[in-house]
A and B are shown apart, each in its own frame.
Chain A
Amino acid sequence: MSEMIIEIKDLFFSYEENDEVLKNISLCIKRGSYTAILGHNGSGKSTLAKLIIGLLPSQSGEIIVDGLILNEENLREIRSKIGVVFQNPDNQFIGATVRDDIAFGLENRCVPQIKMDDIINEYAKKVGMEDYLDKEPTLLSGGQKQRVAIAGVLAMTPKIVILDEATSMLDPKGKKEIIELTRKMRELYPELTVISITHDVEEALGADEIIVLNQGEIYYQGNSNDIFLQEEKLIAIDLDIPFVYKLRNELAKHEIEVSNCNSEEMLVNELCQ
């Protein structure tokens, strides 16, 4: 078993001829890591997610997921290893109620009917939706729908979870809930690889690895601490850096050294000492 769960080599993709959305993408994602793929609208980040689960065919290049090369024959098996939470909470809610929606993935996986209720209850509890099991999607908030989507994905016991702009259509409260849940999910499943595709730098905070995409190319790839300390580099492609790093950079200008802290809380604690 290789250390890398996703390996992408020389990937090219275009929707229309001569208009490449992804150019020469090569990257590796470590097993059990939390990776953030940052980029602007049109940087190709969502396209990349669709390519990884085989919703789009790549023009050239190779995608290896958990040791399997993505092709027609492996498609089903690869999809069973990956769960995706999409952007629009409404457009991925398939069942008539929360219960039915979590069951949808299980039905596809041919889980015996008698076992389904237990699985549904277990995962609804994990995302804090156990009191809403018989509710219809119209009665739920965006954040709640995304929580159901996460439960539906986790219930299928994937090795990789891709959050494709999962918070971008939510209100601040819903957004906070989902970020919190992502953190909890990583604690509960340490072996789970989480890939968060986002344009919100705050969400990328705490990621083990950050991949920045710009106009279909990898602009930067590396440790989150390293990149956020290079403010100019991100600002050059109109991305911001998280508030904590902004403050740290400002402090550094005034020759106030702070150690490696990547949350507001840590920074406050350190400064107060």
Chain B
Amino acid sequence: MKNLSLGRYIPNDTFIHRLDPRTKILAMIFLLVIVFMEIGFLGYFILGIFLLILLKVTKVSFRTLFRLIKNMWFMFLFLFIINILSFQRGNVLLDLEFFKIYDSGIYQTLYIIIRLVIMITITTILTTSTKPLDMTYGLEYLMTPLKIIKFPTHEIAMIISIALRFIPTLLDETERIMKAQASRGSILSEGKLKDKIPAIISLIIPLFFSAFKRSDELADAMEARGYDPSAKRTRYRVLKFTSSDWLSLSLIVVITAGFVYLSFNKEMIESLLGIDLWR
């Protein structure tokens, strides 16, 4: 159970790993915006190459990525069927008496699959290169403007960081309770679902009970050490924007601007290159 790594952070020391989490989160938002623009196959091709470079820099193995995408084949198939059934215009590709398959359905499916794969790739790059805790700090900082509308950014960041801290502890606890219940004859891994329900209950109730006890004691320990969410505190982990962060952000902004230009001037580029970019 220990090897269940949440957020799939892979420790490494690459250019992307060293970037400020805020840079990475902002870059992710920009890239996700690009994904939802109408940039055509050429645009996705360029974006794909850019992401391949990022993957290479982050040293994420293609196998990791492939495993994530592989799990979605059923969804892809489902999308394919839905699109073929619902898009009934354009050129007929296959005529099966009772119903026709049009090329627009295929293209639409391809677009959606490409978008999904690109989105998965972007988030994978972010999560493998950023520690969950750093991500929390980054999000807290980026959400600071929300403080104006009394949004408790600091409290939420503290809650997330404590939750992250206690995931391994609670997993250990789960394992211990499972063993304790197994020794009393309540085995989770065997039997039908109907038989499993009492076993699950006998796991969840003690787990919740101990989690509440823990949170109680944790609250005491935090208070005893002078924690007061409303008071001013200093920070040990300070996020630092370096020149490479500015550089990366500028690059992303330029790329985004390029894609915006592409999506608004499709016809011009099409006639320039002499190919049909958009269907």
- Chain A residues at the B interface, C-beta cutoff of 8 Å: 50, 53, 55, 76, 79-80, 82-84, 86, 88, 90-96, 99-100, 103-113, 116, 136-138, 152-153, 156
Contact = CB atoms under 8 A, between A and B. Distances in A.
B226 interface: yes
Interface string B118-136: 0000000000000001000
Nearest to A162: B224
B276 interface: no
A107 B233 contact: yes
Nearest to B171: A138
B161 A108 contact: no
B169 A100 contact: no
A50 to B, nearest CB: 7
B238 A113 contact: yes
Contacts of A110: 232-234
A83 B237 CA distance: 23
A108 B133 contact: no
Interface string B147-177: 0000000000000011011001100100000
A80 B161 contact: no
B222 interface: yes
Contacts of B231: 108
B161 A96 contact: yes
Nearest to A86: B221
B228 A55 contact: no
B200 to A, nearest CB: 24
B221 A92 contact: yes
A108 B228 contact: yes
20 contacts: A90-B169, A90-B214, A92-B217, A92-B221, A93-B165, A96-B161, A100-B236, A100-B237, A103-B236, A104-B225, A105-B226, A107-B233, A108-B226, A108-B227, A108-B231, A108-B233, A110-B232, A110-B234, A113-B235, A116-B234
B202 to A, nearest CB: 23
B234 A107 contact: yes
Contacts, number: 90
A64 B222 CA distance: 22
Contacts of A83: 224-225
A107 B162 CA distance: 16
Nearest to A152: B225
B218 A91 contact: yes
A7 B168 CA distance: 42
Nearest to A139: B168
A107 B222 CA distance: 12
Nearest to A116: B236
A116 B233 CA distance: 13
Contact of B226 (A90, A99, A109, A137): A109
Contacts of A84: 221, 224
A48 to B, nearest CB: 14
Given A55-B224, A83-B224, A107-B234, 11 more contacts: A50-B220, A91-B218, A94-B162, A96-B161, A104-B222, A104-B227, A107-B233, A108-B225, A136-B168, A138-B168, A152-B225
B223 interface: yes
A76 B169 contact: no
B214 A91 contact: yes
B224 A53 contact: yes
Residue with the greatest number of chain B CB neighbours at <10 A, chosen from A80, A94, A112: A94
A153 B222 CA distance: 11
Nearest to A88: B217
A153 B226 CA distance: 11
Nearest to A111: B234
Contacts of A137: 165, 168-169
Contacts of B218: 91-92, 94
Contacts of B162: 94
A88 B2 CA distance: 21
A104 to B, nearest CB: 6
Nearest to A87: B217
B226 A80 contact: yes
A235 B236 CA distance: 50
Residue with the greatest number of chain A CB neighbours at <10 A, chosen from B228, B235, B237: B237
A83 B162 CA distance: 21
A246 B172 CA distance: 41
Contacts of B234: 106-107, 110-113, 116
Contacts of B221: 84, 86, 91-92, 94
A90 B218 CA distance: 9
